């Protein structure tokens, strides 16, 4: 169809629609006919693909090769055990990754684009997926066009169509039919196409095409889907696993050479080397990455932080600065008009929120309707120069639109104005919507044959266009500014109300009409109180070494008052304004951002400059934003955070994370969760690597001392299976430590293992190797003990060493004696299950035959436990020394390095 050629009425008639939209029955019928509004069919979760993915790690390749060679040598028992180890880990990984895929799929649906439509005669917000031809869509600046639309009405509409045409300049749109044929999309001025971005203005459009039938859909059908990018954390682990695999192969080669040198049979030595390699390789690592990231994403979603990009999980944990908007993020976004000045008197309004029950006071006395006559003009402008709806639902007053405008409606209700009657008496003829660049909104009304222009906006904007005051001369104009300034010093947001009598033949208004000859009616001062939970969250950030910077468009004195209440700055601290930023070069700003906590009256490009200079200082920066013009700062920051309620589609798409409740406290909760994620990955590594090193060291010690092998290949594989399965997953579920929100930010350049853990890993690995060989040597030296019994003791000692090492791994610095075993019940149950499995291998005849074990008596168990518990004593001593003597210095050094890097 050549939709651009059709008149509005013809297009509506062709799709059997109207400007009031479709009803639910029509929507359901058309969904069955046209399908959902999506470009590609969503790839279903392939269970087979997920299962096969468990075998894609380089570490698993080594195990599979070892199993194949073992089978070739007809060592079927050992080959079966190797395959069993690989299969067991694959099953665990499959179950957890399937859960992860389902969680991510659900989160994608939470973050999916939405559209505002007229249906059943009412405005609604629906998933863009549910749009059908014939729907009426409402567009405003910052939204992404959700389908191909034939525009019905436009108000200064400009759309960025670079995604389709490559043209960088915005396209000015109209609703008029265009008779020309064979126009390119860029010339179809009355069409809005899926995926393009509304930069300025408002519009109403008719959905004419959805899904693959849209212009963008035709392009998407020819484009292959790209594979998802792996996060930095996953890439780090890939490198870590590859290096570890090479180290294991090199150690195995050395072990094989030493064995041959001391006279061991090549076949026996090969089987031992294969088993040692299998026991050393931490094949659980890839599973841990998947589980930990997926679990953290799900936990953050429950705390209203929806992660769009997995790299944000890791980056969050090392954030050093959070640059936050004020309104709705640091404050409640429940504006309440408190004071009004009409040029003669100051009126006080009682009550809070959007409940219209309250009084209007003057000099502490209730104002009568007669005395409030002059006040009503100020309130009327706020009520009618307004695009927001205030309604009651289940006894609660709710807002559809802007909270500031809702506060103006509430104030008018408290003073006795009836919105319906006022709208009938002053019908709206035209509107200039609010745009942040201009700082005001204007509407044209008719009243008793007279045309009136109503304007509301920032005092420095609206009053600037005024030539007189409703109640006096130029002195009153000065009083307006003085009162507005005093209100702002009290933390109030101030809006000026003005009007103008227009010529009787005017039907439309322009910005030129607004910017001259206005009459100022008065100012309204409203407050948006700080969120109580945000005050605690900011204090938590400060304890955690994270700076919080407020970047707001509000008046400087208002921002400073709110900042003082939040604990961001003292009364004497400097607030930098947008005007000052304009006069600063980058070097001056570089010096100022290090110390300044509040930036006021800033434009979006100022936010980008602040972000860039913080990054130049080496800070890891998170930035919040909700508008189209915030997207450069969101993309420039290490972590872009979009607002879920007030955020535009464009901001959400540019961000790494979406805060569903627009609450700063949710950001801080996500930062803490990001720290917990990285902590738990480190805990898993510290559990796996020392025990793998111990397996290699113990065999080398035995060969060097001329002893028999302390474990058979099958026994080594059993050690790997019983110790590295459930415990690894359980450690990834370890709750955050008590000081996780009090530590300095982590240096993002630091590797998977910290210097402390590397040192401790070597100590623990050597201790376990010496302990196992010590028991094995003493058992062999005992005349009545068989070699099978000695190996059973060695295997049991190695297993319980690793059980105790799991407890050590729960914290890098805290003593496990201060940690409840029930705070991570999964780990407790995993260790109990593994203990019973080990007992089964020792006492169940069939398993005794398979693993060549012999029963142990209570004296044997006493020896095993006495030796293996030494790993806890060793690590506890190491932790105590570091806490007492070097812990503080290490933390300060880490903090300095994180800031420096």
Among the options 135, 325, 528, 630, which is catalytic? 325
State the Cα–Cα distance between residues 555 and 459, nearest whole angstrom. 10
Spatial contact of 174 and 186, defined as CB atoms under 8 Å apart: no
Catalytic (active site) residue 325: yes
- Cα separation, 494 vs 514, whole angstroms: 19
Contacts of 82 (CB under 8 A, 6+ apart): 63, 66, 67, 70, 274, 278, 717
Please state, in angstroms and as integers, the Cα–Cα distance from residue 463 to each residue in 63, 143, 440, following that order: 77, 31, 11
Question: What six digits make up the tokens of 600?
Answer: 């006021």
Return the structure tokens found at 431.
Answer: 């509107």
**Secondary structure E strands in 552-592:** 575-577
Q: What is the full DSSP assignment across 692-719?
A: HHHHHHHHHHHHHTTPPPSS-HHHHHHH
C-beta separation of 152 from 19 below 8 A: yes
How far apart are the C-alpha atoms of 320 and 864, rounded to whole Å?
47
Which residue is it, tokens 């500014």?
A: 481
**Dihedral, CA atoms, 288, 289, 293, 295, nearest 10 degrees?**
-10
Query: ∠673-676-678 over CA atoms, to 5°?
Result: 115
Beta bridge partners of 409: none
Alpha-carbon gap, residue 144 to 194, rounded angstroms = 8
Distance of CA 748 to the CA centre of its chain: 18
Q: How far apart are CA 611 and CA 630, in angstroms?
A: 11
Taking alpha carbons only, the member of 669, 784, 785, 686 closest to residue 727 is 686
Count of residues making up the chain = 901
Query: What is the rounded CA–CA span in Å between residue 294 and residue 310?
Result: 9
Write the CB contacts of 257 (distance below 8 Å, at least 6 apart in sequence): none
Rounded Cα gap, residues 52 and 873, in angstroms = 42
Are 527 and 508 within 8 A, CB to CB?
A: no
- Calpha distance 897→30 (Å, rounded): 60
The DSSP symbol for 37 reads: S
Strand locations in 89-216 (E): 114-119, 122-127, 136-140, 148-160, 171-172, 191-192, 197-209
Residue 478 burial (CB count, 10 A)? 11
Name the strand (E) or helix (H) holding 493. strand 493-502
Short-list 623, 632, 462, CA closest to 551: 623
Q: Round to the nearest angstrom and report the end-to-end CA distance of the chain.
A: 58
Q: Dig out the tokens for 251 from the structure.
A: 């150690």
Q: How many CA atoms lie within 13 A of 294 on its CB side?
A: 20
Q: Which residues on adjacent β-strands are paired with residue 117?
A: 124, 137
Q: How far apart are the C-alpha atoms of 506 and 444, rounded to whole Å?
A: 9
Instruction: Tell me the longest C-alpha to C-alpha distance in the chain.
Output: 118
Residues forming beta bridges with residue 155, ordered by sequence position? 202
Cα 16 from Cα 33, distance rounded (Å)? 14
Q: Hey, how many other C-beta atoms are within 10 angstroms of the C-beta on 534?
A: 24
Residues marked active site are found at 325
């Amino acid at each position: 169809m050549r939709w651009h050629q059709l008149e509005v009425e013809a297009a509506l008639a062709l799709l059997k629609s109207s400007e009031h939209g479709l009803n639910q029955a029509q929507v359901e019928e058309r969904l069955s006919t046209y399908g959902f509004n999506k470009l590609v069919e969503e790839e279903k979760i392939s269970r087979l693909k997920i299962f096969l993915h468990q075998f894609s790690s380089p570490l698993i390749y080594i195990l599979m090769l070892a199993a194949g060679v073992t089978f070739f040598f007809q060592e079927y028992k050992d080959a079966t055990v190797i395959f069993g180890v690989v299969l067991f880990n694959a099953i665990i990984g499959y179950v957890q990754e399937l859960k992860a895929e389902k969680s991510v799929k659900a989160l994608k649906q939470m973050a999916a684009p939405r559209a505002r439509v007229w249906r059943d005669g009412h405005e609604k917000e629906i998933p863009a997926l549910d749009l059908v031809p014939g729907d009426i869509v409402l567009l405003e600046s910052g939204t992404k066009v959700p389908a191909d639309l034939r525009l019905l009405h436009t108000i200064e509409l400009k759309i960025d169509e670079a995604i389709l045409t490559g043209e960088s300049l915005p396209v000015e749109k109209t609703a008029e039919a265009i008779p020309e044929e064979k126009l390119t999309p860029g010339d179809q001025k009355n069409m809005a196409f899926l995926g393009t971005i509304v930069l300025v203005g408002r519009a109403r459009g008719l959905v004419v095409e959805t899904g693959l039938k849209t212009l963008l859909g035709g392009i998407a059908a020819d484009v292959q889907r790209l594979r998802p990018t792996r996060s930095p954390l996953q890439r780090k682990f890939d490198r870590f696993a590859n290096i570890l695999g090479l180290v294991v192969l090199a150690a195995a080669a050395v072990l094989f050479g030493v064995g041959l040198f001391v006279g061991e049979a090549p076949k026996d030595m090969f089987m031992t080397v294969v088993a040692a390699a299998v026991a050393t390789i931490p094949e659980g690592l890839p599973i841990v990455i998947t589980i930990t990231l997926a679990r953290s994403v799900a936990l953050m979603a429950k705390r209203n932080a929806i992660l769009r990009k997995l790299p944000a999980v890791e980056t969050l944990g090392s954030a050093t600065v959070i640059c936050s908007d004020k309104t709705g993020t640091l404050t409640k976004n429940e504006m309440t008009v408190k004071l009004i000045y009409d040029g003669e008197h100051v009126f006080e309004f009682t009550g809070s929120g959007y409940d219209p029950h309250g009084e209007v006071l003057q000099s502490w006395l209730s104002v009568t309707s007669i005395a409030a006559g002059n006040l009503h003009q100020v309130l009327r402008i706020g009520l009618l120069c307004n695009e927001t709806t205030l309604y009651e639902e289940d006894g609660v007053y709710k807002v559809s639109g802007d909270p500031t405008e809702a506060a103006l409606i509430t104030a008018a209700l408290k003073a006795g104005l009836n919105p319906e009657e006022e709208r009938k008496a002053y019908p709206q003829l035209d509107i200039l919507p609010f745009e942040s660049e201009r700082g005001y909104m204007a509407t044209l009304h008719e009243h008793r044959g007279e045309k009136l222009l109503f304007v509301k906006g920032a005092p420095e904007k609206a009053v600037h266009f005024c030539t007189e005051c409703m109640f006096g001369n130029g002195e009153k104009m000065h009083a307006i500014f003085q009162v507005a300034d005093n209100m702002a010093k009290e933390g109030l947001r101030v809006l000026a109300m003005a009007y103008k009598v227009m010529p009787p033949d005017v039907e439309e208004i322009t910005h030129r009409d607004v910017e001259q000859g206005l009459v100022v009616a008065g100012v309204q001062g409203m407050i948006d109180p700080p969120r109580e939970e945000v005050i605690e969250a900011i204090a938590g950030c400060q304890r955690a070494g994270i700076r919080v910077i407020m970047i707001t468009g509000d008046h400087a004195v208002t921002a400073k008052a709110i900042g003082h209440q939040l604990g961001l700055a003292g009364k004497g601290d400097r607030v930098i304004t947008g005007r000052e930023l304009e006069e600063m070069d980058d070097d001056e700003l570089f010096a100022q951002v290090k110390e300044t906590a509040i930036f006021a009256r800033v434009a979006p490009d100022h936010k980008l400059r602040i972000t860039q200079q913080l990054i130049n200082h080496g800070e890891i920066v998170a930035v919040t934003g909700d508008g189209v013009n915030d997207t450069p700062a969101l993309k420039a920051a290490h972590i872009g955070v979009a607002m879920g309620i007030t955020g535009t589609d464009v901001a959400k798409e540019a961000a790494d994370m979406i805060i569903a409740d627009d609450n700063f406290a949710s950001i801080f909760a996500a930062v803490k969760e990001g720290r917990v994620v990285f902590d738990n990955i480190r805990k898993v590594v510290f559990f796996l690597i020392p025990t793998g090193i111990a397996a290699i060291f113990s065999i080398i010690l035995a060969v060097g001392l001329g002893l028999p092998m302390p474990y058979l290949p099958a026994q080594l594989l059993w050690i790997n299976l019983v110790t590295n399965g459930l415990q690894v997953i359980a450690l990834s579920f370890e709750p955050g430590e008590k000081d996780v929100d009090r530590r300095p930010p982590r240096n993002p350049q630091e590797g998977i293992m910290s210097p402390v853990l590397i040192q401790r890993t070597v100590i623990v690995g050597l201790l376990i190797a010496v302990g196992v060989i010590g028991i094995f040597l003493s058992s062999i030296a005992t005349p009545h003990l068989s070699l099978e019994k000695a190996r059973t003791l060695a295997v049991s000692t190695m297993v319980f060493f690793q059980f105790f090492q799991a407890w050590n791994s729960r914290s890098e610095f805290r003593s496990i004696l201060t940690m409840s075993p029930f705070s991570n019940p999964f780990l407790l149950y995993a260790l109990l299950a593994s203990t019973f499995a080990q007992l089964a291998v020792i006492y169940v005849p069939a398993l005794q035959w398979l693993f060549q074990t012999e029963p142990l008596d209570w004296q044997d168990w006493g020896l095993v436990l006495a030796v293996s518990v030494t790993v806890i004593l060793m690590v506890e001593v190491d932790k105590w020394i570091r806490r007492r003597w070097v812990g503080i210095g290490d933390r300060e050094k880490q903090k300095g390095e994180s800031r420096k890097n």
